[in-house]
Structure 1
Amino acid sequence: MQRYFQIQGYFADDQSIFDAIVSSTHDYDETTDDIIFFYGLTEPNILQAIQEEIAVNGEFFITAYQETELV
C-alpha cells in the first residue's frame, strides 16, 4: 500500500526551511508527480533521518512529519 507523508525540514545547501512537502513510499508516479517532492521515503527512513540528523540523499534534513492523504 502506498503511503504519503508531509515532511518539514530544511535544505542542506542553504538551510532554507520547507513545510508540508509531500513524500511517497513508492517510486515515481506520473499521475502524482506535481504533488510529490520525494519518492521512495518510508516511515522507518524518515524516523532514522530525524533521529540521526542525517540529510536524505545529502539534499535535505527532516525535522517533523505526519502521514497524509492525497486529495
Structure 2
Amino acid sequence: GLKHKWGQIVYVTGHEYKILLRLFGNHRDLPRLLLYEGIKYIINNGGSFHIHQDRGMKIYDIDSQKDLLKAQELL
C-alpha cells in the first residue's frame, strides 16, 4: 500500500474559508460538488493547506461491508 494516505478530512478556516464561501455562493450544482473540487477551487484561488499527522493514528478506508467487517477485527 501507500506509505502516506489522505484521510479525506479537511478543516478549513481563515482565508481558505472565505474562498470556499465564494464557491458556495457561485456554484449552481452545489449538492453534486465533490470535495476534491472544493479543494482545487481553494488552491486555484490562492489558498493553501497544511498537513497534520498523528503518528499513532490509524485510518481505515471503508467502502463495503467486507471492509467494515475487517475493520471490526482490527479494533
Same fold per TM (> 0.5)?
Answer: no
Choose between structure 1 and 2: higher strand proportion. 1
TM-score tier by shorter-chain length is under 0.3
With a CA cutoff of 8 Å and minimum separation of 6, indicate the structure with the bigger relative contact order: 1
Q: Rg bigger for which structure?
A: 2
Choose between structure 1 and 2: higher helix proportion. 2
TM-score computed with the length of structure 2 as normaliser: 0.22
